Amino acid sequence: MITYILFGTGIILLIKGADYLVDGSSSLAKKFKVPTIVIGLTIVAFGTSMPELVVNIASAIRNSGDIAFGNIVGSNIVNILLILGISGIIGSLKVQSSTVWKEIPFSLLAVIVLVVFANAHVLDKLNFNSILKFEGIVLVLFFIIFLYYVFGLARKNKLKLDDKKIEIKKYSGGIIFLMIIGGLIALYFGGKWTVDGAILIARAFGLSEYFIGLTIVAVGTSLPELVTSIVAAIKKQNDLAVGNIVGSNIFNIFWILGLTAIINPIVIPVSANIDLLVLLVATVLLFVFMFLGKRHELDRWQGIMFVIMYVVYVVYLTGRG
């Protein structure tokens, strides 16, 4: 029982810690007159990926690469098949042309690069799959290129981000300090307890740490994206609903997994190739769906198909263990 409480509390602390850190940091940036669009593209974007980042860093330090890799691959699959699927069922999602032709292909590139790196052992003549430190550096370099592209769009005003769509509350200096410090503390303990709890649960049920990372941890750390996209879909903010997911998937692979591998090279289970294939198919389908039916739109039937695919995938994972 204590193990489940530890794990559940860890997930809650990760989510609330990210919220407090984002709100406090955004308010602080606003005090220094940082433009709202810059806050949205940096603090808010990084904030929704904080749970995955903290869990992966904690996993790297604990030398639990299985949880780290499973968390990223699982989170990206959850983001497309489950979260975008549910968002699409709530209401058809119209997507900007730049997202269709640039951001989605960039997220597809991230998956392809990950697949290549995960199977580079064939060329390196190693008897195991891995993401090495050098490959982690390459992933982070790709992430820097992505950031350069995003800020380039912002400078040219091609990103339709209205200041009114990003609400930033103003707090006093003392409250900001408490929110940032409290958020960091919550993230630290949340990451530690989530990883520790996941390891204990895996051992108790005779499951692999990779399986726990791919399922329970992945869903838990994707809750910020789930809430953001569903609320955006309800409010008809389609660009935010889809952009949040696509951006998160790029962040997860290029930034978080890259940084994790730099801290500690990741040994990957052989079975991970099947999960990478599922992620690759899901990402390709997301791109293809933009041209089926209504152009540049995720229809309800496509959202239903995504959710069914995720249910089938989870059933398969349960059987695989």
Residue 68 sits in a domain of what CATH number? Answer: 1.20.1420.30
Residue 256 DSSP one-character state:
I
Question: What is the pTM assigned to this prediction?
Answer: 0.85
Per-residue pLDDT band at 233 (split at 50, 70, 90): confident
- Which of 288, 285, 292, 291 lies closest to 307, judged by CA? 285
Distance CA 178, CA 159 (A): 33
**Where do runs of H (alpha helix) occur along the chain?**
2-31, 36-39, 45-48, 50-61, 65-77, 85-90, 97-98, 104-118, 121-124, 133-155, 173-204, 209-212, 218-221, 223-234, 238-250, 258-263, 272-289, 300-320
Distance CA 146, CA 137 (A): 14
- Which of 309, 287, 311 lies closest to 106, judged by CA? 287
**Where do runs of H (alpha helix) occur along 205-299?**
209-212, 218-221, 223-234, 238-250, 258-263, 272-289
Please enumerate in sequence order all residues whose Cβ is within 8 A of that of 89, keeping only pairs 6 or more positions apart, or say none: 300, 303, 304, 307
Please give the backbone phi and psi of residue 94, each rounded to the nearest 5 degrees, phi first: -80, 130
The arithmetic mean of pLDDT across residues 266-287, rounded, is: 91
Residues 21-61 have pLDDT tens digits of: 878 887 887 777 766 555 655 666 677 778 888 888 888 88
Share of the chain above pLDDT 70, in %: 87
Q: Is the pLDDT of residue 8 over 90?
A: no
What's the pLDDT at 313?
95
The CB density around residue 176, as the number of other CB atoms within 10 Å, is: 19
The arithmetic mean of pLDDT across residues 91-120, rounded, is: 86
What's the pLDDT at 30?
74
| Most confident range, picked from 24-33, 171-180, 228-237 | 171-180
Decide if 28 contacts 180 (C-beta within 8 A). yes
Query: Can you give the length of the chain in residues?
Result: 321
Q: Pick the more confident residue, 114 or 38.
A: 114
Distance CA 11, CA 32 (A): 32
Q: How many domains does the chain have?
A: 1
Q: Pick the more confident residue, 97 or 105.
A: 105
Strand partners, 267: 130
Residue 109 belongs to what domain range? 2-320
What's the pLDDT at 154?
63
DSSP string, 215-234: IIIHHHHTHHHHHHHHHHHH
What's the pLDDT at 162?
47
Decide if 12 contacts 187 (C-beta within 8 A). no
Distance CA 228, CA 245 (A): 9
Q: Is the pLDDT of residue 163 over 80?
A: no
Mean of the per-residue pLDDT values of the chain: 83
Distance CA 301, CA 281 (A): 17
Residues 77-95 have pLDDT tens digits of: 999 999 999 988 988 777 7
